[in-house]
Amino acid sequence: MRDILESVAAGELSPAAAEARLAGYASTDAGRFDAAREDRRGIPEAILADGKTPDETASLVLTAVETTGRALVTRADEATVEAVRTRVDAAVADATVDTDERARTLVARAPHHEPPSLDARVAVVTAGTSDAAAAGEATAVLREMGATIDRIDDVGVANINRVLDQREALRAADVLIVAAGREGALPTVVAGMVDAPVIALPVSVGYGYGGEGDAALAGMLQSCSVLSVVNVDAGFVAGAQAGLVAQAIDAARRT
């Protein structure tokens, strides 16, 4: 604690960042900001823009950048991107704001912030084109957590040869995220081909009965293979969970 306080005294750490470190969260205009996840787990604070006004999101981003050096926004629409850019540019000199339109993510970063780097390999696998948004969200958080990422796309099981031909690439991963919509069978098949943990990510593709990702979620929860699951379109959660496994492996490798 002494170190932290001295950093504050030296002007190296803002009071907000210091409070975040000490209490696990910072009391700001935008509310109580939960810095614990970033601080302890190395997961960047992720702000779900759905259900918030652009202004609310921008305030939270600013707080995150100021206390932890960065922020990740998911489900960002144009108005949110605009609001964040304006607020961040005005408040933090030389901050960067990067967006991925397909994944609907935004990363704001303070000038001196340096993302970590892990000695662990995560494969992000998709069944088809429509899985790109959810997979992109997962990729965004994995990048922030420092994992090496292999994208293996378009290997849906309707033509089983596509995934069989990727056997080597799949087996090279320390942990895998497998995204699929419709019937969501790809994670089951992949989990039967590798010996690393598989995190299944159902995607809201499809129509009629079981559409909106319901069939994919149900199939993954019922899978005959061993895998764990996140919610429909929860790319951030899948990415962060894979990142935690990668961190554990990285730590074990370094010891």
Which residues 104-133 are close enough to bind a second copy by CB under 8 A?
Answer: 127-130
Binding segment (CB under 8 A) for a second copy, from list 8-16, 83-91, 108-116, 175-183: 175-183
Q: Measured from the CB atom, is 95 or 175 closer to a second copy?
A: 175
| Member of 3, 93, 161, 168 binding a second copy (CB under 8 A) | 161
Residue 21 within binding range of a second copy, rule CB under 8 A: no
What secondary structure does DSSP assign to the chain, as a single string?
Answer: -HHHHHHHHTTSS-HHHHHHHHHSEEEETTEEEE-HIIIII-PPPEEE-TTS-HHHHHHHHHHHHHHHSEEEEES--HHHHHHHHHHHHHHSTT-EEEEETTTTEEEEE-TT------S-EEEEEESSGGGHHHHHHHHHHHHHHT-EEEEE----TTSHHHHHTTHHHHHT-SEEEEEE-TT--HHHHHHTT-SS-EEEEE-----STTTTTHHHHHHHHT-SS--EE--TT-HHHHHHHHHHHHHHHHHHHH-
Q: Measured from the CB atom, is 100 or 154 closer to a second copy?
A: 154
| Member of 155, 170, 178, 179 binding a second copy (CB under 8 A) | 155
Q: How many residues in the shown chain lie near a second copy by CB under 8 A?
A: 98
Q: Measured from the CB atom, is 48 or 90 closer to a second copy?
A: 48
Residue 207 within binding range of a second copy, rule CB under 8 A: yes
Residue 146 within binding range of a second copy, rule CB under 8 A: no
Rounded to a whole number of angstroms, the minimum distance from the CB of residue 111 to a second copy is 27
| Member of 25, 85, 115, 148 binding a second copy (CB under 8 A) | 25
Map the footprint of a second copy across residues 56-75, applying CB under 8 A: 56, 60
| Member of 1, 154, 168, 178 binding a second copy (CB under 8 A) | 154
| Member of 8, 18, 72, 175 binding a second copy (CB under 8 A) | 175
